[in-house]
Structure 1
Amino acid sequence: MGTMTVHTLVAELPDPAVLLARCRALALLDAILDGDTPTHSFVSGWRDGVDLAFMENGSGDEYTVVFDPAGVFLYGFDHESAATPWREEPRAHWPGLLDGLPASLAQYPVAPELQVDGFFDATVCAWRETGATTWQCGPVSFAADESDGADWLFDVLTDSSPKTYADFAEHYFEKSVDPQAVAAVWAGEPLTRRTVAVLSSVADFESIASQARDLGYAVQDEIAL
């Protein structure tokens, strides 16, 4: 059986609204657990009307999701993947990687902010125009022993269970993580002091609440006792 690639990923990605909510939740959870070294980040209003989510694991692997009114553009970079543009000089994309990308989203691979030294570093790309019912990708093909990174880069994003994030966080941040508190954030429930306190004994609630609002995440209105 061959390795999972972007062709499997496009069938597993949730609808854009669900994906957006998960990206927000991931950024908030990381900020609570360890604001100094978050893996997941989210920028609300990165450009006018455009939100940006990204993941960097500190080992050279990353993904970015662009939420544009015209649709969603998602890409990942697995530095050990067969599809790495660094496999040849000068760098080149895996054949078919961006073939079929609609004009409405075509500005993102050429956006300087999303390039590395003037090149769009990506091993896996997918997109979904607003109004479309399915995710799309280019006509890439891989041998059985070749991967583009889709088999692991997006595990937390595509799994609807908050346990996947809790398992990741316990391993990455090297601390126990309360699964119920994770589930509350994952479900988009308004952030409470209790949720923050359960997840972190050192996080400052007011600071986290401010970050949550910046992310577009709801914070519970507190009634003084």
Structure 2
Amino acid sequence: MPTPELLESLPGPEELRRRSIVLAALDAVMTTDSPKYVYRPGWRADESLASMDNGAGDEYSIIFGPNGTYVRGFDHESEMNTFDQADAALWPGLTDHLPAVFRSYIDDFTLDGVPTMTVCLWWAVGDPSWNCSDFAYPDGDVYADGASWMFGALTDWTLEDFLDHATYYGCEMSPALAHHLMASLPLTEEHMAALNPTADAARALAKVEALRYPVQ
């Protein structure tokens, strides 16, 4: 899934936010530290942040703010990773058409002060769809940016895909509970116990509620 295909596959900003919260909620129940998927509703005064970090150097960040939604991804093995280059510039053309209201975000995600990005998308307020800059891929390889795998948990929103995603946590989730989560239906302590019998159900429910996921 090269970036142009990702533009067609990603849901709109609010659905993207909802799915991000679902992924973060599942992660919050199943892990105690170093979560892979995170959602920070109060990242800044008027901005929320959804992120993924696989612990191996690959990550994405999605900022939901008053000017729109900004998506940045980083595949550390991509040929478009320019971190080790002397001038530390991003891949040529990657952010050429990025609107001014989003440009400050480039410096928010750095490694040793150097911006890290191989995927850059945005949906500004008033836009009808996702956008990206027009640039040349290395050797014409449209899959070089890492978008083909990085956002799969957000784009492949089917029961089969969600159940497969749950196996990452060693969770054998029932189809009924998977449907419940995928639809953002309210969760209870009983749901927490079904997802992770070793977790403190009340504490897990509080963590989920802090993500702005509905509970009861």
TM-score of the pair, normalised by structure 2: 0.92
User: Aligned residue for 2:102?
Assistant: 105
Equivalent position SS for 1:152: helix
CA pair 59-178 structure 1, distance change in 2 beyond 3 A: farther
User: Aligned residue for 1:32?
Assistant: 29
Runs of 4+ in structure 1 over 3 Å off: none
CA pair 119-86 structure 1, distance change in 2 beyond 3 A: closer
Match of 1:155 among 145, 152, 155: 152
Residue type of the alignment partner of 2:99: P
Spell out, residue by residue over 1:111-140, the C-alpha distance to the aligned partner (whole angstroms, 9 max, x if none): 3xx222112201111000122111000112
Residue type of the alignment partner of 1:25: V
CA pair 61-202 structure 1, distance change in 2 beyond 3 A: same
On the 8 A contact 2:83/2:114 being kept in 1, the answer is no
User: Aligned residue for 1:144?
Assistant: 141
Cα-Cα RMSD: 1.6
CA pair 191-116 structure 1, distance change in 2 beyond 3 A: same
Aligned residues: 214
User: Aligned residue for 1:79?
Assistant: 76
Residue type of the alignment partner of 2:136: S
Spell out, residue by residue over 1:190-216, the C-alpha distance to the aligned partner (whole angstroms, 9 max, x if none): 111222121111122221221122111
On the 8 A contact 1:81/1:146 being kept in 2, the answer is no
- CA drift at 1:24: 0.5
Equivalent position SS for 2:176: helix
Spell out, residue by residue over 1:120-169, the C-alpha distance to the aligned partner (whole angstroms, 9 max, x if none): 20111100012211100011222137510000000011122143232133
User: Aligned residue for 1:119?
Assistant: 114
Match of 2:199 among 203, 208, 221: 203
Equivalent position SS for 2:121: strand
Residue type of the alignment partner of 1:34: T
On the 8 A contact 1:5/1:151 being kept in 2, the answer is yes
Gaps of at least 5 residues in structure 2 are: none
User: Aligned residue for 2:13?
Assistant: 16
CA pair 145-161 structure 1, distance change in 2 beyond 3 A: closer
Q: In the alignment, is residue 193 of structure 1 matched against residue 207 of structure 2?
A: no
- CA drift at 1:32: 1.1
Gaps of at least 5 residues in structure 1 are: 221-225
Q: In the alignment, is residue 178 of structure 1 matched against residue 174 of structure 2?
A: yes
On the 8 A contact 1:44/1:51 being kept in 2, the answer is yes
Work out the CA distance in 2 between the residues paired with 1:175 and 1:184: 15
TM-score of the pair, normalised by structure 1: 0.89
Residue type of the alignment partner of 2:128: T
On the 8 A contact 1:97/1:140 being kept in 2, the answer is yes
CA pair 186-147 structure 1, distance change in 2 beyond 3 A: same
